[in-house]
Structures are given as C-alpha cells and as structure tokens.
Amino acid sequence: MNAFLRYGVVALLCVQTVCALASMPSPVGDLLVTKSEPGRPGGKLVVAERSEPKTLNPVTALDGPSRDVIRRMTADLVRINRSTQLTEPALAISWTASPDKRRYTLKLRRGIKFSDGHPFDADDVVFSFQVYLDEKVHSVQRDLLLIDGKPIGVAKLDPYTVQFELPKAYAAAERLFDSVAMLPRHLLEQPYKEGRLASAWGLDVPVSAIAGLGPFRLKEYVAGQRVVLERNPFYWKIDSKGVRLPYLDQVVFLFVPSEDAQVLRFQAGDTDILNRISAENFAVLQKDQQARGFKLFDLGPGLEYNFLLFNLNDDTTGRLPEVARHQAWFREQKFRQAISEAIDRDAIVKLVYQGRATPLIAQVTPGNKLWSDASLPKPERSLTKAKDLLRSAGFRWKADGTLIDSTGQPVEFSVLASASNPQRKQMATLIQADLKQIGINVQVVPMEFRAQLDRIIQTHDYDAAIMALGSGDVDPTAEMNVWLSTGGTHLWHLGEKQPATSWEADIDQLMRAQETEMDAKKRKREYDQVQQIIAAQLPIICLVSPNILVGAKAKLANFQPAILDHYTLWNADELFWRQ
C-alpha cells in the first residue's frame, strides 16, 4: 500500500515536470546552430498554391500542394541542402558507414521535441520506417527505400542511435533519408495498428492530433481558401545569437488556381513569394520590380528536361499498322539523329522561353552541377548534316521537296502536345516548321494531358510527343526508373523484358554499376558514359531545360532560392522580414 502510494507520487511528479518542460521550451539538447544571417522574429509569409492540399499525411501525400505544406511541418534524418545539392545533418547529428558500406549508424539529436512537446527518440525513427516500408500502407516513399526490391532494415541500438542495414552497398545511401519525414509514434501508432493510417491526418485533423518536427505546425485550415501554419516553439535549430528558429510567426498558403492569377496576386502585394513562373510572366513582372518592392531571380536551368519522344514500343505490329509503319523510320538511329540536327533549339530558347532556357543534347541539365557531362558538345542546328544523315539511311526527296523513304512513302508523322501547356504547343509548332525544311510533314495534335499520357503509357497509339521529365534530386539514382530498360518511366519503350537494343543493355549495366559504386570519380565516369550514349542514340531527343524563375518581396531576408524543389521555401525556417 505504502509502496503503491510512493510510486504513485513519483509518477505524478514526473508528469508535472514533463508538463512544465513542455510548456516552456528552453534551448537544451543537441540543437543545430545555423550559419545563416541571424534574423528578427515575427511576421508572416503568404504563399500561393495552385490547389488545395489533398492531405496532411506525409505517408500518402502525392500531390505538390500537399507536399509543399507537409514539408514545412516535418523534418528528415538527413537532408539535401537545396543550395549546395549536398547532404547535411538534420535530425541525425552524425552518421558512420561500415567498411562494406552496407551498415549506417545514425546518432540522433538528444532532447528535441515534436511540435506538441512530446520528445523524439529512436522509437519514432523505427516506427516511421516500419510505416513507410509496410506494403499495406502504400506509402509513396516505399519505392525509394527498396534497393533491388529488398527493403532496408532498421534497428534501434539505444534511445539515440539507429542502425540501417542495406541489402547491398548503395552509393546514394545518405540521400535516401531526405523527404522521409519522421512521424510521431505517440500519435500515429494507434491508427497504424488499427489499419487506418492512410486516412489519418486528413485536412479535417484537429490541431492537437497532428505534430511534426518541422519549423511550423498546423494552426487552421479554411476549406477552399487557406492553410495557416504557425511557428513551432520546439523547433531544433537556433541561430548564432542563440535565437530559436523559425523567425516567422506564420506561413499562410492561399489557394490561387492559375499562374496568371498568382502573378496578379503577387503584383498586388497579396502574396510574398512566387514559386516558379513562366518566362513571359517573368518579363511582365520585371518591368515594375523596383517600383513595387519585389525581386525576381533567374536561377538558371533546373533539373527539368523537355524532349521529343518517338514511339519505339514493339507491341504495335498488327494492332496499329500505321504506327508500326512509321516506327521503321523512328527505329533508325540516323533518322533520329537527323531530326535532332534539324531542330532549332536556339529558336525554342528564344521564342518559347524568351531566352530563359538552355539547349540540351542529353538529359542532365547544366543546373545539375555535380553530374552533367561538360564534355558533351553543345547542340548546333545543321540542315546539311541532317540531310546527309537521311541520305545515308536510304531516304530521298521528291521534286517538290517531300522526304520519302526507301519504299517511296512520304515521311510524315504526328506530334502530341499537352493542350493546356502553351510552351509545349509552341515547341511542337517550331519543330513542325523546322522539319518542313527537310521535307518532313509534321502534324501537331494538341491533346488533353491525361489523354496524351494514356496513349503514351497504355495504348502506345502515337507517333511522337513532346514531354518533360525532371526528378526531385540531382543524383543519378533518382533517374533509374527512366533509363533502366525495365523502368516504369522508360517512356519510349515500356515493358521491355530484356533490353531491346545493345545500347540499352549498356545503359542498364552502367546505371546498375553507378548505383553501388562507392568511388565518386568512377561513378561520375559511369554516368557520363550514360549521357554520351543517350546523346548518340537519342532514344528521346532532348530539347531545352527551362530556367527556374522565382520572385519574392525585397524585404524578405535569407531568401536563397534553389533549383531543387521546393525552390523558395526549402529554408523557410531561416526566412525573416527585414525592417
């Protein structure tokens, strides 16, 4: 009886201390000290989103707006600095790799707390990875955490040490942890055990039931209008003067459906940041940036590459006779090279992007500082080269200039372009005029984007299309699904059981080698070789990479836009308003 009372009192006392600590955050624990300019707390930041987020659940969020909001409320173990494109410590204070590079031991920050004041430790990490790797949860991150189809193993060594075991050596291992948000076990274990994790943390979630380790936490959601986040008082970063980050009291996401409307709201001063705009709108805004007190930034080429895609699928024979007939041309390497020679990429840069883009010959843009192969030649238009290539591949010209193949058939094909994307329609129209000059008759078919995707991915009923791809990270591993012949985004020839050509087999081999190659120089050489093969074989004809164009009010300090997503808010914790 006595003992029970005593323990009871001790337990009560403990609860009280925990409450007191929780209500009064003090800078104890392994806080990260930022190197950025120390700022002034206060104020709010208003940002426009194209649409409402669909969910606040980091495990199931697929769409951009959801992820934009969630990333401000959560944190990862290791993160990729968007500006340097290198990894840096986040929730993990340090890490070591075993000599065979298969075991990573991460030390966690001690004494840090979720935004509801609950302490964070290794149990949360183990729980988070358990959730992400659970097949039944269908998390978006699961694919990234599988290596060769096998999940990575996670084990708690002590409350602040976690060990990860990879199925094989993996060059980009540290980068895996970025965008894998740590989840609060105390809030999500119950829903997970009851099998309703996927539906937890919808937009209707009560503020008390959601917590994260990010700089901000949920304040309110007004359907159809805005999501408001407020400062997380338990955030784990301080500046060099000892002030706890973030500086901003609130971040408000407004829902503004179109880019034009977003530009108008920004011009009117309703929003503080423009996250990616078109070159035309950039030019319109540039005229009055001084007068209205905002600043625009041209960050140079991003990671996105636009390309002309030829249908090289082999399931069209018999089913789609006309497509199959055209494919005889598309499969000819010299034909693809001739098309590439005939396309005026400089005109695309000038007319479609008003000069704010870079011509490309392979998929890696110059914006990818670490990985682009600088030795690749800059693409130059040459009609004579194009004609020589066609002639040597057995094509001829009729008296009126029409190109005909060796059987006498005129060469003509259609190019799909997304009807809602003016840039891609313009590129298609320019290519149409370019190819007219070598006697090829091209028909531009604007099409609703989903109908276009359906043709490219499902029915394979198309000749060619203008598309764009861009991965979230600079590392080549992020592009595996595009270049492996079995990859799900291997758009020009989907569902290959074996590499259809010897050069695709070479790409497969190189991509797999770089994945496990630990010597950075060797790895770069391997990926350079992939780029060279793509530039020579042209499975897709890369066109240009548009520059990332952003804007913000001039008084916003520590604003460091980057070419990796999220371009403007990736360091939201450091942003502050200058007086």
Partner 1 sequence: MTRAQKIAVPLAALIAVHMLVVFAGFVAPYDGATQFREHPYAPPSRIHLRDESGHFHTRPFVYAWKNNGDFAEYVEDTGRIMPVRFFVHGEQYRVAHVLQSSVHLFGVEEPAHVFLLGSDGYGRDQFSRLLFGGQISLISGLLAAALALSLGLLCGSAGGYFGGLLDGLLMRTSEVFLVLPWLYLLFAVRAFLPLRMSPVGTFLLLIAIIGAVGWTRPARLVRGIVLSAKERNYVMAARGFGATEWYLLRRHVLPQTRGVLLTQAAILIPQFILAEVTLSFLGLGVAEPVPSWGNMLSALQQYNVLSSYWWMIIPGLVLIPIFLSYYLLARSLEQPV
User: Could you list the residues that contact partner 1 (CB under 8 A)?
Assistant: 260, 263-264, 278-281, 283-284, 344, 347, 350-351, 354-355, 412-414, 416, 419, 422, 425-426, 428-430, 432-433, 443-448, 451, 461-463
| Helical packing angle, 502-516 and 520-537, nearest 10° | 160
CB atoms within 10 A of CB 488: 13
Judged by CB, which is closer to partner 1: 157, or 433? 433
If DSSP codes are grouped into helix, strand and coil, which group holds residue 146?
A: strand
Closest CB 430 distance from partner 1, rounded Å: 7
> What CA–CA distance (Å, rounded) separates 524 from 373?
9
> What CA–CA distance (Å, rounded) separates 510 from 516?
10
Q: Bridge-partner residues for 161, per DSSP?
A: 107, 158
Judged by CB, which is closer to partner 1: 402, or 560? 402
CB atoms within 10 A of CB 157: 12
Judged by CB, which is closer to partner 1: 166, or 263? 263
Closest CB 255 distance from partner 1, rounded Å: 19
Closest CB 574 distance from partner 1, rounded Å: 32
Closest CB 416 distance from partner 1, rounded Å: 7
Judged by CB, which is closer to partner 1: 29, or 446? 446
Judged by CB, which is closer to partner 1: 311, or 571? 311
Closest CB 263 distance from partner 1, rounded Å: 7
> What CA–CA distance (Å, rounded) separates 181 from 132?
10
Judged by CB, which is closer to partner 1: 430, or 533? 430
Amino acid found at 560: Q
Closest CB 291 distance from partner 1, rounded Å: 17
Closest CB 366 distance from partner 1, rounded Å: 21
Judged by CB, which is closer to partner 1: 41, or 446? 446
CB 467 within 8 A of CB 304: no
Closest CB 258 distance from partner 1, rounded Å: 9
> What CA–CA distance (Å, rounded) separates 480 from 537?
18
Region of residue 62 (left: phi > 0; alpha: psi -120 to 50; beta: else) = alpha
> What CA–CA distance (Å, rounded) separates 480 from 360?
20
> What CA–CA distance (Å, rounded) separates 212 from 281?
36
Judged by CB, which is closer to partner 1: 31, or 285? 285
Q: Bridge-partner residues for 89, per DSSP?
A: 78
CB atoms within 10 A of CB 350: 14
Q: Which residues contact 40 (CB under 8 A, 6 or more apart)?
A: 247, 576, 577, 578, 579
Which candidate, 248, 231, 243, 213, places its Cα nearest to that of 27?
243
Judged by CB, which is closer to partner 1: 419, or 536? 419
If DSSP codes are grouped into helix, strand and coil, which group holds residue 571?
A: coil
Judged by CB, which is closer to partner 1: 237, or 356? 356
Closest CB 437 distance from partner 1, rounded Å: 11
CB 104 within 8 A of CB 166: yes
Amino acid found at 70: I
Closest CB 334 distance from partner 1, rounded Å: 24
Amino acid found at 543: L
> What CA–CA distance (Å, rounded) separates 340 from 304?
19
